[in-house]
Structure 1
Amino acid sequence: MNNSKKTKPKPTSVRIFSAAVVGLNAFPVEVEADASPGLHSFNIVGLTDKAVDESKDRIGSAIKNSGFTPPIKKNRRIVINLAPADIKKGGSLYDLPIALGYLLATSQIKFDASETVFLGELSLDGSVKKINGVLPIVQMVVKNGFKRVVLPTENSNEASLVSGIDVISIKNISEAVGYLHGEINLIPHENIKYNDFIGNNDDAEDFIDISQIKGQESAKRALVISAAGNHNILMSGPPGGGKTLLSKALSGILPAMDYDEALEITKIYSVAGMLSANSPIVTTRPFRSPHHTTSSVAVIGGGTSPRPGEITLAHRGVLFLDEVPEFPRSVLESLRQPLENGVVVVSRASGTAKFPARFLLVAAMNPCPCGNFGDDKLVCVCNANSINKYHKKMSGPLLDRIDIQINVSRETYDKMTGPSTGQNSTEIRQIVEKARTIQKARFLGSKTLTNSEMGIKEIETHCKLPKDAEELIKSAFVTHNISGRGYHKILKIARTIADLDESNQIQVPHIAEAIGYRIVKNEL
Structure 2
Amino acid sequence: MPDTEEAVLPAPESRGAWEAGEGGGPPPWAFGASTILGLACTGWRAMPVLVETVVDRGLPHFVVVGLPSTAVREARERVRAAVRASGRRFPLHRITVSLSPADLPKEGTSLDLAVALGLLAASGQAPAPPPGWAVFGELGLDGSVRPVRGALSMAVAARQQGVTHLVCPAANAREVALLPGIRPLPARRLDDLLDWLAGPVLPPPVPLPEAAGDPGAPGPPAPLPDLASVRGQPWARRALELAAAGGHHLLLLGPPGAGKTLLASCLPGLLPPLDGEAAIEVTAIHSVAGQLPPGAGLIQRPPLRAPHHATPVAAMVGGGKVPRPGEASLAHRGVLLLDELAEFRRETLEALREPLEAGHVTVARLAGAERFPAAFQLVATANPCPCGQPGGRCHCSERQVARYRQALSGPLLDRIDLQVRVRRAALPPTAAGPREDSRTVRERVEAARQLQALRFHRLGLSHPPGQPPVNRWLEAGDAARWAPMGPAARRLLDTLYRDASLGLSSRGLVKVLRVARTAADLEGRDEVTVDDIELAAEFRFPPGW
Question: Common fold, TM-score beyond 0.5?
Answer: yes
Residue in structure 2 matched with residue 502 of structure 1 by the alignment = 524
Q: How does 1:473-488 map to 2 (within 5 A)?
A: 473-479=493-499, 480-488=502-510
Residue in structure 2 matched with residue 434 of structure 1 by the alignment = 447
Structure 1: where are the runs of 5+ without partners? 1-7
Answer whether contact 1:111 1:181 (CA < 8 A) is retained: no
Name the CA distance, whole Å, in 2 between partners of 1:161 and 1:382.
54
**How far did residue 114 of structure 1 move?**
4.4
Name the CA distance, whole Å, in 1 between partners of 2:401 and 2:173.
55
Q: How does 1:333-482 map to 2 (within 5 A)?
A: 333-372=350-389, 374-376=390-392, 378=393, 380-412=394-426, 414-444=427-457, 446-447=462-463, 449-479=469-499, 480-482=502-504
Query: After superposition, what is the alpha-carbon deviation per residue over 1:107-157, rounded to whole angstroms, capped at 9, x for unaligned?
Result: 111234543211111122222122222223222222223342211222222
- 2:543 corresponds to 1:522: yes
Answer whether contact 1:156 1:189 (CA < 8 A) is retained: yes
Query: After superposition, what is the alpha-carbon deviation per residue over 1:80-129, rounded to whole angstroms, capped at 9, x for unaligned?
Result: 22122211111111111111111112211123454321111112222212
2:313 to 296, 300, 303: 296
* Bigger shift: residues 126-135 or 312-321: 126-135
Answer whether contact 1:17 1:117 (CA < 8 A) is retained: yes
Query: After superposition, what is the alpha-carbon deviation per residue over 1:313-366, rounded to whole angstroms, capped at 9, x for unaligned?
Result: 111100011111111111111111111111111111122111111110011111
Question: Does the C-alpha gap of structure 1 residues 16 and 357 become closer, same or farther in structure 2, counting only changes over 3 Å?
Answer: same
2:71 to 32, 39, 51: 51
- 2:214 corresponds to 1:197: no
* Bigger shift: residues 42-51 or 99-108: 42-51
Structure 2: where are the runs of 5+ without partners? 1-27
Residue in structure 2 matched with residue 279 of structure 1 by the alignment = 296
Name the CA distance, whole Å, in 1 between partners of 2:289 and 2:443.
32
Q: How does 1:117-196 map to 2 (within 5 A)?
A: 117-182=134-199, 184-187=201-204, 189=206
2:42 to 10, 19, 22: 22
Q: Give 3-state SS (helix, strand or coil) of 2:388's partner.
A: coil
Q: Give 3-state SS (helix, strand or coil) of 2:391's partner.
A: coil
Name the CA distance, whole Å, in 2 between partners of 1:44 and 1:465.
66
Residue in structure 2 matched with residue 246 of structure 1 by the alignment = 263
* Bigger shift: residues 159-168 or 76-85: 159-168
Residue in structure 2 matched with residue 4 of structure 1 by the alignment = none
Name the CA distance, whole Å, in 1 between partners of 2:449 and 2:159.
32
Answer whether contact 2:283 2:298 (CA < 8 A) is retained: yes
Answer whether contact 2:211 2:296 (CA < 8 A) is retained: yes
**How far did residue 420 of structure 1 move?**
4.7
**How far did residue 205 of structure 1 move?**
4.1
Name the CA distance, whole Å, in 1 between partners of 2:278 and 2:132.
30
Name the CA distance, whole Å, in 1 between partners of 2:214 and 2:130.
43
Residue in structure 1 matched with residue 21 of structure 2 by the alignment = none
Residue in structure 1 matched with residue 23 of structure 2 by the alignment = none
- 2:224 corresponds to 1:207: yes
1:511 to 506, 520, 533: 533
Question: Does the C-alpha gap of structure 1 residues 168 and 278 become closer, same or farther in structure 2, counting only changes over 3 Å?
Answer: closer
Q: How does 1:88-99 map to 2 (within 5 A)?
A: 88-99=105-116
Question: Does the C-alpha gap of structure 1 residues 154 and 420 become closer, same or farther in structure 2, counting only changes over 3 Å?
Answer: farther
Name the CA distance, whole Å, in 2 between partners of 1:12 and 1:417.
77
Answer whether contact 2:503 2:542 (CA < 8 A) is retained: no
* Bigger shift: residues 467-476 or 444-453: 444-453
Question: Does the C-alpha gap of structure 1 residues 249 and 285 become closer, same or farther in structure 2, counting only changes over 3 Å?
Answer: same
Q: How does 1:265-276 map to 2 (within 5 A)?
A: 265-276=282-293
- 2:252 corresponds to 1:232: no
Residue in structure 2 matched with residue 100 of structure 1 by the alignment = 117
Query: After superposition, what is the alpha-carbon deviation per residue over 1:225-267, rounded to whole angstroms, capped at 9, x for unaligned?
Result: 1111111011111111111111111122122222122122112
Q: Give 3-state SS (helix, strand or coil) of 2:511's partner.
A: helix
Answer whether contact 1:52 1:90 (CA < 8 A) is retained: yes
State the AA in 1 paired with 2:62. F
Name the CA distance, whole Å, in 2 between partners of 1:186 and 1:300.
41
Question: Does the C-alpha gap of structure 1 residues 200 and 127 become closer, same or farther in structure 2, counting only changes over 3 Å?
Answer: closer
Q: Give 3-state SS (helix, strand or coil) of 1:139's partner.
A: helix
Q: Give 3-state SS (helix, strand or coil) of 1:513's partner.
A: helix
